[in-house]
Chain A
Amino acid sequence: MESKEIKFKLNGKIVRTEVKPYDKLLEVLRDKLGVKSPKYGCGRGECGACSVLLDGKTVRSCLIYAVEVDGHEIVSLEGLQANGLTELQKSFLKHNSFQCGFCAPGMVIQVTELLRENPHPDEEEIREYISGNLCRCTGYNPIVDAVLDVIKNK
């Protein structure tokens, strides 16, 4: 199959790269472009570890072919923290909201979308938004605490 050149905005910079039609966005980000924060977890959209923002919306980069993002904008954790850790990330650190850390980039991406849509969500809404992000270490409570803490200070 022929490769196709795609052009998209990645963490604020225009990127051009050759992809095969069946290359997943996750693979292209990690293996070709060196963006390592999105993780390969389940590979079928159920765990949220590969989450990135596509035109501002959280998506599963394991379920998107790279050709589909031609002309669009992708932001990963690397983009969010380009100017230092965000308040949300600092709150995650303060509350010890990750242990192995595998889910953390996806959690931060998903909660970032939530807080942009609604700066003051209640606990139920926070839990609804991260219900597609699996964490096997924390039991979720420290994550929810970190988000509640960051909202309180807004």
Chain B
Amino acid sequence: MKTFEYFKVASVDEALRLLSMYGNKAKILAGGTDLVVMIDDEMVAPDYIIDIKGINNLKGIEIRDNYLWIGALTTFSEIIHAEIIKEKFPVLFEASKRVASVGVRNRATLVGNICSAVPSLDSAPTLLVLNASVEIKGKEDKLVPIADFFKGPRKTILEKDEIVLGIRIPLETRKYGANYIKLGRYEGEDLAQVGVATFVAEDLEYRIAFCAVAPTPVRALDAEAFLKGKELNTNLLDEVVPLALKAIAPISDVRASKEYRLHTSGVLLKRSLKASFDRLKGNGPSYGINLV
């Protein structure tokens, strides 16, 4: 049985002080839906647990200057129920509904999801296509583009004496359409076999991101460049797939084979681009429905 000491902190400074004291022996606890399982599986064995749920200024969703701020303690359920999310970034509402199940989403946080950094993390493709940044505090303050945050499976750029304060999503002034599609083995709770998010703005800037098909969530930049400025049509969809697939490198595991993931990534990408484009034009499926 793994034992540890438990601290409940009330401020970021207190959390940072404990982190600098205990370093790799300490783990930050927010929702715990990943961390508790990892401790039980002995993948991590912290001697100190720092519960940050008492830090009030890490809670909430709000507009600040030119971005939307989502605090480190904000749960997926809070994102799903927030009117401001449905109004500004309905694609984030859609992606959050694909995470695990209600009983997990009531506890699991968006920031915890990115800090766990498993390759199948549902929130990442959407954050990637929205050009989100990660607010980090340690010895110095950092603002890191989400694309630079992930280093490998379960690895991020976070140093042992740093914590994530929240996520910033730049407010979009253009009209746009976007979506997140998650393919699982069945409709209930499951990890993604493939996840894809796309974004199309009215000036025909495209963004494409995948999860579960590479060591980290990835953008398909070549495919985006190829589509830039073009009205979407069937031929274009066929042409963009091979370009996009160059950006991913799926593996075979218990949930799907490499070949299946490659094939379905192409299928889902086409479906996702079409839905984003249709949403941009005002005749797409409503946000939140399952597009698989």
Interface of A with B (CB < 8 Å)?
A: 1-2, 4, 20-22, 24, 43-46, 48, 51, 54, 57-60, 62-65, 67-68, 70, 106, 110, 113-114, 128-129, 131-134
Contacts and interface: CB of A to CB of B under 8 A. Distances in A.
Interface string B26-47: 0001001100110010000000
B243 interface: no
B6 interface: yes
B40 A60 contact: no
Contacts of B40: 43-44
A60 B33 CA distance: 9
Contacts of A133: 101, 103
A63 B187 CA distance: 23
Nearest to A1: B3
A4 B36 CA distance: 19
Interface SS of chain A: helix, strand, loop or mixed? mixed
B102 A128 contact: yes
Given A65-B36, A113-B102, A128-B102, A59 B107 contact: yes
B18 to A, nearest CB: 14
Contacts of B14: none
A93 to B, nearest CB: 23
9 contacts: A1-B4, A21-B3, A22-B4, A44-B40, A46-B189, A57-B77, A58-B102, A63-B36, A65-B36
Given A48-B103, A131-B101, A1 B5 contact: yes
Interface in B132-187: 187
A132 B188 CA distance: 7
B106 interface: yes
Contacts of A21: 3-6, 49
B191 to A, nearest CB: 10
Given A45-B36, A64-B32, 7 more contacts: A22-B3, A44-B40, A63-B33, A64-B107, A70-B8, A110-B103, A133-B103
A44 B33 CA distance: 8
Given A68-B51, A132-B189, A4 B6 contact: yes
Contacts of B256: none
Contacts of A110: 102-103
